[in-house]
Amino acid sequence: MMRNALVAVASLTVVVALNGSVLAEAMEGHFRCGITDYGWPSSLEEAPTATGSAVMEFDSDGKGRFTTGSLSEHLADDTRTFGEKVCAFQLVKGEYHMNSANAGTSNLAWRLKVGSDSHCGAWLRNANTPNMGYVESPHDYETIANTGSFFVLANGTSRWISASAGGVAIGVCGQVH
């Protein structure tokens, strides 16, 4: 169950905060998001289980692209007593599209950074390496990509959601000045 819950983390999506009347062309600057990951319930009677948290920072060029970014995931690690692993990712490619003045979608691609916990690869899939065990190198794993939806509030912050077979990730984002 833990491994399936962690898959939701790989489907995180960035959204940026902006005034509800501002279009994608004006989305320019540095942004920070707080994220919580949940695994799907195992039955109808159960609630989702929180499986991790993350902080994401990125820069937007105001023309539909995220130019730089980082993601730091804090996940439970069942291979250690009271364990937690920190998986750091670097943005490879990102873009966003506004569907209206207060809603849109984003597409992101992330690569595991050198220096991440050696257990981070246990939930990243790659045709060249098994999906269990330790990471020999972050470059042994393919880029992870995802899509999600976001909603902009009148106060300029945004709320977003991204779902996968393993669970759901939700977050709040705001511009950092």
Closest CA to 96 of 70, 68, 60: 60
Q: What is the tens place of the pLDDT at every residue in 79-89?
A: 665 667 788 88
Instruction: Evaluate whether 171 touches 11 at the Cβ level (below 8 Å).
Output: no
Which of 34, 35, 38 has the alpha carbon at shortest distance from 6?
38
Least reliable range by pLDDT among 100-109, 118-127, 146-155, 164-173:
118-127
Q: What pTM was estimated for this model as a whole?
A: 0.74
Checking if the pLDDT of 46 tops 80, the result is yes
Average pLDDT, the chain: 75
Task: Report the topology of domain 2-176.
Answer: Porin (2.40.160)
> What pLDDT was estimated at residue 2?
37
Domain boundaries, the chain: 2-176
pLDDT for position 56: 93
